[in-house]
Amino acid sequence: MYKKNRMFDDVIRLVAKHHPDLLTETHLHLAKELEAESRFSEAEYHFMEAEEWKAAVHMYRVNDMWEDAYRVAKSHGGAGAQKQVAYLWARSLGGEAAVKLLNKFGLLEYAIEFASDNFSFDFAFDLARLSCKEKIPEIHLKHAIYLEDEGKFSEAEVEFIKAGKPKEAVFMYVHNKDWANAQRVAEGHDPESVSEVLAGQAKFCFEQKDFQKAEAFLLRAQRPELAVKYYKDADMWSDAMRICKEYLPNKLSMLQEEYERETSKKGIRGVEGLLEQAREWEQSGEYSRAVECYLKVKDDANTALMEKCWMKAAELSIKFLSGDRAVEVIQVVGPRLTHLRKYNAAAELYLNMDLIKEAIDVFIEGEEWNKAKRVAKELEPRYEDYVDQKYKEHLKNQGKVDSLVGVDVMAALDMYAERGQWEKCLDTASKQNFKILHKYVALYATHLIKEEDAPKALQLYVQHGAPPNPQNFNIYKRLFLDLINLPDTDGPESYRMWADLRNFLLQLCENMSKSAEANSPAHEDFEQMLLIAHYYATRSAAKGVEQLISVAAKLSVSLLRHTELVPADKAFYEAGLACRAVGWENMAFIFLNHFLDLCDAIDEGTLDALDHSDFLDTDIPFEVPVPNKLCVTDAQREQIRDWVLMVSMDHRLEQVLPRDERNSYEASLVAANTGLRSLPCVLSGYPVLRNKIEFSSGGKAVNKEDWNKFLIQSPECQDVLKFISQWCGGLPASGFSFH
């Protein structure tokens, strides 16, 4: 109702009250209606109420009411909007009026700038011509850039020239590869740019691989350094060098260094380049550079080529370079050829430069021993020993001991020994001399003793003899002690071993008596060992014959006086068992009882607390070494303990050793009362009192009774008698012979 009657205030009142959400829309609607009826100021009111000041400005602009438009923009739109409206107002006026208006608002420069930035070039020119001529070139430049972007190059060219920027026109044409126009503008308006055009053209030709044309352009542009750069980038080093040599000679050495760095980086392609370069240097007589190039050739896939190049370097250096430089080159090439196994070539180069030692070393490395020897012999005899030494080392390292024998027998023997090839070692040593042989026999024996194989060590000396060298005495003693410590060796089956030990010691003692060691303490020790070994052997032989069992028992008892060498526990154990076996129970009881005491003492590690009262007035020693370990098992020890206990419970035995007519212990060599010493029987070890049979060499005798028992028994007994005859200087006077 109100709307129909155009009572707009009431319309707004009701809408505001009842439809506040539609208020803005209603204002806008009313404003547009009023605008259509040309009721502009009423329309402006509603536009403002709807917060649409831009619509009000637009309304006034369209209706050419610029002052109102400017007023609304100024009061509602801020500085930017105000400038914009002023600019548009001026544009609508044009000419002098526009200039006047803009000057009034102080916006003339802004308007020119704005017009040219928004492509309104005609308006910009108008304003500038009327009021601000210095701005004209700037507008031409902006216009030119606009035309270039639009692809209108000829129009752009005109504008660039008008803007006083012909160079930009040149660059535009260069950028578009329009060389003719670029050249025309450059020659007509900017001669300095001519070389730029040529360089641009050259770059384009290089990219098209039209190298000749490109080079011509760059030389016309007087830019040889660019030609060098482009050739370098295209990997065309020889062309780069050519241009450099001709136009930039002072840069040539730097370029060569760069080239050499590049080629060494690049491998194969580089190798071809290096070869080409080397040949060029060679042809131009630059031999030092050519040598450098040839030396740089490295291509592991083509050793023949490397060898050829390095040989060429050597050859050129020998022919054309100074002596010192040539030696340097050869010292580089030699090891390289050696590495390629070209030993003869390397040696020849060394000999060319009189590097004799180096040539010899190369032949040695190549195992060309005869050549090495010949060079040493003919050119530098002082190196002959050096070659021999190296040859020996080589044979050693290669393990060619058999060849080494012919060159350095001692080194070969040492190697055999190191490798444990003892048979070969001794076989070879035996072909040298007795002294050398025995050095290695001793080494082998020591090795066997360490390996706990004393019987085998004994066989060595049985086979090779027993030299009386003092440095061997420890081996002999150790051998003896290891053998007598062996368990279960008192039976007939051990006869051979004891006989071998006995024979070896006899030979040793005989050798000692003819040497500087005669009658020395060592000699006396070995005589003792010989006696013990003889008792052991004789005991083994006797044990193999039933009738001689008592002789065997006597020997076991006699051995008690040698416990400073024979392990005490073993001696008493064997003597006790032997006495028990032949029914001498008193002695068996005393010996085995003492054996048990010894075992306990060995467990404690000292014999100090031992009771020796049973052996007073005998020649059984008290001060004896403590054995390291027992000779029996725990079970054997317990058996003995049980027997001793049982016997002592019986009370039927006297704990006294048997005595003889001297009123002394029957096995003692020294009479208790008189102190007289009797000789021990060579068969039983007991003192020889009555029925003595003496031997022709003094100091040895035998009990007739034991002697007769021994005659015509086993082969072992025969062997014992044969030994006695040897040891005692013939058989006793009874004249009995045996076979």
pLDDT in tens, 469-494: 888 888 889 999 999 988 888 899 99
**Is the pLDDT at 404 greater than 50, yes or no?**
no
Amino acid at 440: Y
Overall average pLDDT of the 14-37 stretch: 62
Strand 692-694 and strand 701-703: the pairing is antiparallel
User: How far, in Å, CA of 331 to CA of 342, rounded?
Assistant: 14
Which of 295, 300, 298, 299 lies closest to 315 in space, CA to CA? Answer: 295
Which tens digit of pLDDT belongs to each residue from 203-240?
Answer: 666 766 666 666 766 666 667 777 777 777 776 767 77
Contact 276/313 with Cβ under 8 angstroms? Answer: no
Q: What are the angstrom distances between the C-alpha of 577 and each of 192, 205, 284, 495, 557?
A: 131, 120, 109, 19, 10
Provide the pLDDT confidence category of residue 156 given band limits of 50, 70 and 90.
low
- Looking at per-residue confidence, does 381 or 263 come out higher? 381
pLDDT at residue 511 greater than cutoff 80: yes
Would you say the C-alpha torsion 464, 465, 467, 471 has a positive or negative sign?
Answer: positive
Return the top range by mean pLDDT from 33-37, 292-296, 573-577, 608-612: 573-577
- Write the CB contacts of 334 (distance below 8 Å, at least 6 apart in sequence): 346, 349, 350, 355, 358, 362
Reduce the secondary structure of 656-704 to three states and give it as a string: CCCECCCCCECCCCECCCCCCECCEECCCCCECCCCEEECCCCCCEEEH
Question: Following DSSP, what letter does each residue of 138-175 receive, concatenated?
Answer: HHHHHHHHHHHHTT-HHHHHHHHHHTT-HHHHHHHHHH
For the record, the structure tokens of 448 come out as 């066997």
Structural contact between residues 659 and 665, judged by C-beta atoms closer than 8 angstroms: yes
| Band (441; pLDDT cuts 50, 70, 90) | confident
pLDDT number for residue 145: 57
Task: Answer whether 592's CB lies under 8 Å from 569's CB.
Answer: no
Choose among 685, 687, 684: nearest CA to 674: 687
What is the pLDDT confidence band of residue 296, given thresholds at 50, 70 and 90? Answer: confident
Tokens of 595: 């054996």
Location of structure tokens 């049980």: 642
Looking at residue 739, its pLDDT comes to 34
Residues 338/365, Cβ–Cβ less than 8 Å:
yes
Measured from the Cβ of residue 96, the count of other Cβ atoms closer than 10 Å reads 11
Q: Is the pLDDT of residue 675 over 80?
A: yes
Please compute the mean of the pLDDT values over residues 486-513 and round it to a whole number: 92
Both structure tokens of 607: 């014999």
- What's the chain's length in residues? 739
Task: Please state, in angstroms and rounded to a whole number, the distance separating the CA atoms of residues 713 and 711.
Answer: 6
Q: pLDDT per residue over 609-656, tens digit each?
A: 888 888 888 999 988 888 888 888 999 999 999 999 998 888 777 888
Residue 614 has what DSSP assignment?
G
pLDDT at 208: 65
For residue 377, the model assigns a pLDDT of 73
Residue 407's pLDDT band (cuts 50, 70, 90): very low
Q: How far apart are CA 136 and CA 123, in angstroms?
A: 12
Structure-block tokens of residue 424: 């070969």
pLDDT score at 381? 76
| Beta pairing partners, 677 | 670
Question: What pTM value is reported for the model?
Answer: 0.50
pLDDT for 666: 92
Higher pLDDT pick, 508 / 87? 508
Q: Which residues pair with 500 in a beta bridge?
A: none
Report the candidate in 500, 419, 571 with the shortest Cα–Cα distance to residue 716: 500
Quickly state the pLDDT bin for 495 (edges 50, 70, 90). Answer: very high
Q: Pick from 580, 505, 577: which is nearest to 537 by CA? A: 505
